[in-house]
Structure formats: structure tokens, C-alpha cells
Amino acid sequence: MRMLFVSGTTVGGSGRSQRELAARLVEFGHEVVFVVNHARGPRRTMWVYEQLADLSARIGGRPGGKLVRWFEKMPGRTVTAEWIDGLNHLTTPIPENAVRQTIETFRPDVVVGNSVLRLTWRKVRSMCDAHGVPTILYIREEEALNHFDNGAHPADAVVANAESLTAAIERLGVTCEFVPSVIELGVTVTESTRHTALVINPIESRGIETVWKIAEQMPDIAFVAQESWPLSAEQLASVEAHLANLPNVEFRRAEPPGPRLYRDARVLLVPYRIDNRPRVIAEAQANGIPVIAADVPALIEAIGKGGSQVGLDDINAWCAELRRLWSDNALYQEMADDALAHSKRPAIEAAAVAHQFESIAQRLVDAHR
């Protein structure tokens, strides 16, 4: 099969999971090309596109509308070819305007949407329908549930990387299959010195305010706040302001994935405020690192017995659980063993997950022939 992946990001867990899935599919003999939003386009290009899109929506079918829609399709058509992790990426600030020509030149058998804005995907889906190309929408984030607003069925097949997201989509009347993210756990395996409490992605939606409060109450414990998504200037300023008052917290900038990520972690803290299933849980557990997570459905399903859950905003409970894992070595070893065992369950084995996705795509392609 020829597969076109359309994505709104190349960074963070979503970017990595998309590429690791694609790499496995290439290994199976398929051809994969990405069209991605690299978020580095000139502001002028984005501004022009936004104005044209707004004008097109307001004019509708009135005189001049056809001409405006033609101009709307122009910004972002020119792409830059980049190889990221050995995979061909066509980068543009406006993916939907690069997809049309990519469909015509690459002639994909299926188009897959990942972490893509609703408006972008609607336009991509329309192009695919016009060319008779089936689509798969891969839901990885709670905020992506807006694709189903107003009873929409946004793709020929829908998959989600968390059981909680799958259930939420099914409740909206859309068939959805649970396909965990492909996670190549060997990339981040290390021998940790186990002397820090690690939190990854220090932003508000990932519960960084909770972490600051925990660190303030536990000055004897060393914390690491590890950047994942590139922080904005405002987010970075907020992190630095908190660091000034918390000498027990170290901030680390993003770096390529590898064993350094978990090199000194004793515990992974996941106080996420959104119902996402982050790959960092499986990565930590593959190193025998227990996880303390918020009582959010996708987090609970991900940690299994290899960690514990606490109330999202119960700072005392967070501190108590962290203290238990810091001071009770027997308990810690038991939970570390459980974490390692949980990371080896067949349901998240990378090749098996990729074959599951491959099967869904093949069924869809066969049905459209």
C-alpha cells in the first residue's frame, strides 16, 4: 500500500508515535509519505491564508466566491522535503493546500490523519473523497474529539490510541477501533540511577502547576522538568520564574529521544489534566520506573499495576504517594517489577500494533476497490 500521513506536528509523543508506526509499515513493505505542518512558515503566509479562509466562509456561493476559494488554495502549496528519522516528510505551514498535489503525484491508497486540526482535516477529507481515496483518522488527543461535533463522521475509519477515547467516540455514534500508539521501547531503555522525580512536558495541560506545588512541599527530593513539545516564550518564562523559587527542580531542554531521558528517574509523575494516553508511561515502565498518575481514565488504563493513581488536585495525596515510593524500598521494588512486567504485555508490542493498523488499512483499501 501507498500511505499518505497528514499531520499537524512532528514533535512530542504524537510526532514520534506517527513516525514509529510509519517505520514499521515501511518495514512491512509499504510506502509512506508525510505531509506535515512544520510550524515554521512565514507569518505572512499564515495571515494571508487565514484572511482568505475567513473571506471564503463569509462569501459562500455569492459572486466572487469561486475566485476567493481558488486563491485560498494557493498559500502553502510549495513544500520542503525533509527526512526525519529516515522518513520522507513534505513540510508546509498549511498541509491542506499541499495535500491535493501530493494525492495527484504520490497516488496514495489511503490517507491517514494524525493530530490534525478539524478544519484542515475536513478539507483533506473532501479532497480524498473527490479522488476516491479512503481515509483513516487516528485520534491521539482528547481535544481531537471536536472532529465529531454535530454528529460528524470525519473518516472512512476511525482509530484511537486509548480505550477511553475509543469509548467516547463510540458514544457519539461513530465506530472506532482501539489501536495503541506504536512505541519502540528499546530507544529509551537505560540503567537509571533512580534519584529524581521526573515530569515530562512542563505545560499547564500536563499538570505542571501540580508539580510546582509538590516540589515546594518536598524540598529534599530532586525533581526534573523535561521539555517535550518546544515551549513558547511565555511558557518558558513561567517555568524559569518557578525555578527561581524551587532549587530542588532542574529544567532540561528537549533533546532527541534516547536513554538519557530516563537516566536518573526513580519515579515518573503524570499529573495530566487531559484524557490522553502518553507514551512516556510505557517508556518509563520499560525501565522499571513506577508511575504516579492522575486519576484520568486514559492514564489509569495505561499504568496497570506498574504505578498508582491519585486525585488530580489532591496535592497531599501526591506528596504522600511520592514519599512512599521514596522511602519504602520493598514497596518500590515491587512496583518497579510490576512496571517492567506491564511494559512487556503483548498488547503494546510495536510490531503487533503496527500489524493491527496495517490490517485496518488493508480492509479499507480492499473495500474501496
- Express each pLDDT in 193-216 by its tens digit: 999 999 999 999 999 999 999 999
Task: Indicate if 168 and 193 belong to the same structural domain.
Answer: no
Average pLDDT of the residues in 166-181:
98
CATH of the domain at 70: 3.40.50.2000
In this prediction, residue 244 carries a pLDDT of 97
Q: Of 28-32, 115-119, 294-298, which range is least confident?
A: 115-119
Residue 366 lies in a domain: no
pLDDT in tens, 328-341: 999 999 999 999 99
In this prediction, residue 369 carries a pLDDT of 81
Whole-model pTM: value is: 0.90
Average pLDDT of the residues in 323-331:
97
Task: Indicate if 306 and 196 belong to the same structural domain.
Answer: yes
Residue 154 lies in a domain: yes
Average pLDDT of the residues in 160-176:
97
Task: Indicate if 170 and 23 belong to the same structural domain.
Answer: yes
Task: Indicate if 207 and 311 belong to the same structural domain.
Answer: yes
Name residue, grid cell 471564503.
Answer: 56
Kindly report the length of the chain: 369
Among the candidates 157, 182, 207, a domain finishes at 182
In this prediction, residue 326 carries a pLDDT of 97
In this prediction, residue 340 carries a pLDDT of 98
Average pLDDT, the chain: 92
Task: Indicate if 162 and 235 belong to the same structural domain.
Answer: no
Task: Indicate if 195 and 273 belong to the same structural domain.
Answer: yes
Q: Who's near 86: CB < 8 A, 6+ residues apart?
A: 23
In this prediction, residue 296 carries a pLDDT of 96
Residue 71 lies in a domain: yes
Task: Indicate if 249 and 336 belong to the same structural domain.
Answer: yes
Task: Indicate if 237 and 94 belong to the same structural domain.
Answer: no
- Cα distance between residue 271 and residue 284, in whole Å: 15
Q: Who's near 169: CB < 8 A, 6+ residues apart?
A: 139, 145, 148, 158, 160, 176
Domain hosting residue 313, numbered range: 185-347
Task: Indicate if 197 and 298 belong to the same structural domain.
Answer: yes
Average pLDDT of the residues in 136-149:
96
Whether residue 60 has pLDDT greater than 80: no
Whether residue 71 has pLDDT greater than 50: no
Average pLDDT of the residues in 81-86:
94
Whether residue 70 has pLDDT greater than 60: no
Whether residue 279 has pLDDT greater than 50: yes
Task: Indicate if 122 and 82 belong to the same structural domain.
Answer: yes
3-state per-residue secondary structure call for the chain: CEEEEEECCCCHHHHHHHHHHHHHHHHCCCEEEEEEECCCCCHHHHHHHHHHHHHHHHHCCCCCHHHHHHHHCCCCCCCEEEEECCEEEEEECCHHHHHHHHHHHHCCCEEEEECCCHHHHHHHHHHHHHHCCCEEEEECCHHHHHHHHHHCCCCCEEEECCHHHHHHHHHCCCCCEECCCCCCHHHHCCCCCCCEEEEECCCHHHCHHHHHHHHHHCCCCEEEEECCCCCCHHHHHHHHHHHCCCCCEEEECCCCCCHHHHCCEEEEEECCCCCCCCHHHHHHHHCCCCEEEECCHHHHHHHCCCEEEECCCCHHHHHHHHHHHHHCHHHHHHHHHHHHHHHCCHHHCHHHHHHHHHHHHHHHHHHCC
The Cβ of residue 287 has, within 10 Å, a number of other Cβ atoms equal to 23
Task: Indicate if 92 and 163 belong to the same structural domain.
Answer: yes
Residue 254 lies in a domain: yes
- Cα distance between residue 217 and residue 326, in whole Å: 14
In this prediction, residue 46 carries a pLDDT of 56
Domain count, the chain: 2
Residue 206 lies in a domain: yes
Task: Indicate if 114 and 218 belong to the same structural domain.
Answer: no
Q: Of 54-68, 121-135, 217-231, 242-256, which range is least confident?
A: 54-68
Whether residue 230 has pLDDT greater than 60: yes
Whether residue 11 has pLDDT greater than 80: yes
Average pLDDT of the residues in 165-187:
98
- b (16+ CB within 10 A) / e for 345-360: eeebebeebbebbbeb
- 71 by Cβ neighbours in 10 Å (0-12 / 13-18 / 19+) ranks as middle
Residue 311 lies in a domain: yes
Q: Which tops the pLDDT comparison, 156 or 41?
A: 156
Average pLDDT of the residues in 83-91:
94
Residue 202 lies in a domain: yes
Q: Of 38-42, 246-250, 264-268, 343-347, which range is least confident?
A: 38-42
Q: Which tops the pLDDT comparison, 41 or 160?
A: 160
Q: Which of 38, 49, 45 is nearest to 7 (CA)?
A: 38
- Cα distance between residue 182 and residue 352, in whole Å: 9
Among the candidates 182, 214, 236, a domain finishes at 182
Residue 369 lies in a domain: no
Q: What percent of the chain has pLDDT over 90?
A: 82
